[in-house]
Structure 1
Amino acid sequence: MADNDDEREWHTVEHSLTQFTVPKRYQNLSPFEYNSHDIVTYATDTNTGKKVTIRKVLKSFNSVARAHRTYRELKLRIHLNHLDAQVAQLYDVFTPEKDLNNFATLYLVENYVEYNLKEVIYSNVVVTEDHIKMVIYCLLRGLKV
């Protein structure tokens, strides 16, 4: 994971409701998905050729409660970040702001997954005992130090 330094080149992708300012290595941003906590886009990492998910965390530091929530989520994602665990892999964390006084935007770059657990739970797919065992195994594997 990298911090913001002058060596990164940035580009801004405009969308009707927001803009993403990301390092140039992330190209072909689309489509955008919105919820109350963040905006998600998909991109290609030109350094690896892999498809990634980029999350723009909204209002990360507007209140103490939001700042705590953002910190907890980031800490948990870093702790669960094991390559052999089948949970979201955190590839990069960055902000386009150049100084601490202007720090307001936080981006998380993760591996792209076609389906997430929420989508599976709310789908019409029958979740078997084997599925539940696999999910629990993956979560526990992510906790292994």
Structure 2
Amino acid sequence: MVEQSAKAIRSETEKAALRLLRERANLVGEAATARHERDQLADALRQANDHYNVRYSAALAGGWTPDELTKLGLDAPDQGPARRRRPARSPAPNPPSRSRRPTTRINPDPRTLDHPVVSLPPGRETTGCSPVMTPAPVAHPAAA
């Protein structure tokens, strides 16, 4: 077995990688060429359809009926794909600003509530959620 230098191994690896990249780049180039040809043919077809539509309409205006033109082998021009317009979207309502605090507070009548009213010290207000009330721990005689 012949020993190669690190430089030679690196060079061979880079050449192999470039061959693979060239093959991949060639595939992308071929796809781009095919897309370009497709676009040109699609444009030519649109132009031919437009020209046929004009000539067919001229034949109708000249007194020919659609049935007569069909019997002569001239089909009615394509109207193109039916295009549906999307309904206009209504603008989304503006969300309320989070920076402003409500100016009114609802103070329920404690006599009508089915739970006790808990007062919190100032600065500890909740954001609409009731505070969780946990029972005090009970000492078990077995644990003592």
TM-score (norm: length of structure 2): 0.17
Higher relative contact order (CA 8 A, sep 6+): 1
Task: Please state which structure has a larger fraction of its residues in helix.
Answer: 2
Task: Please state which structure has a larger fraction of its residues in strand.
Answer: 1
